[in-house]
Amino acid sequence: METELMQETHKFLVSKGAVPEGVWDFKRLLYKTWFKLIRRTKGDRDFDSSSFEHVFVGEARGDKIVGLHNWVQFYLQEKVGNIDYHGFFRRETIHDDDVPRLIALQFSWKDVKAKPMSSCFLGTSPEFEIAVYSIFFFLGIFERTDVQLGEYEVEIEVHRLGRDCIGTGYISAARM
């Protein structure tokens, strides 16, 4: 909340009546939404994950990769040899520039079989992604939605888990 980006996010959400006006209350709400431990595994009574972990760190469930929608984590895991990168494509933007902003990819992570499709922003800060996905979540937008971010047309998808947590959030590249 110290940054201009999060202050603008808060101000925007307050203007829509989606979050409390008090900064402290909003910080608590963000914490609960992103960092509260939740049950992701059906039939398991353990609180085993958080929304932040799912989106920004990634998880393996049995022989399946879930989450991992952050380019920084992807880079770090690839650098230490935990990811076997199977290729990528990117969605065209309005201005097809030399710097891709979206990556859609296939990969294997550690000893888990390949994730058939994953997508993430490229070059953005985790703070930016938290702001984008939080806006969708608090406004109750839970389907794939076309969005204009600056000069880029993208699709954002956010899913709810339970009443007050983000199940997942990512930039979508599936419809090309």
Catalytic residues: 54, 69, 115
Tokens of 8: 């603008």
Residue among 79, 49, 44 nearest 67 (CA): 49
What's the DSSP call for residue 110?
T
- Three state DSSP letters for 55-96: HHHCEEECCEEECCCCHHHHHHHHHCCCEEEEEEECCCCCCC
Residue among 3, 22, 32, 57 nearest 134 (CA): 32
To which residue do tokens 């040899």 refer? 81
3-state secondary structure of 167: strand
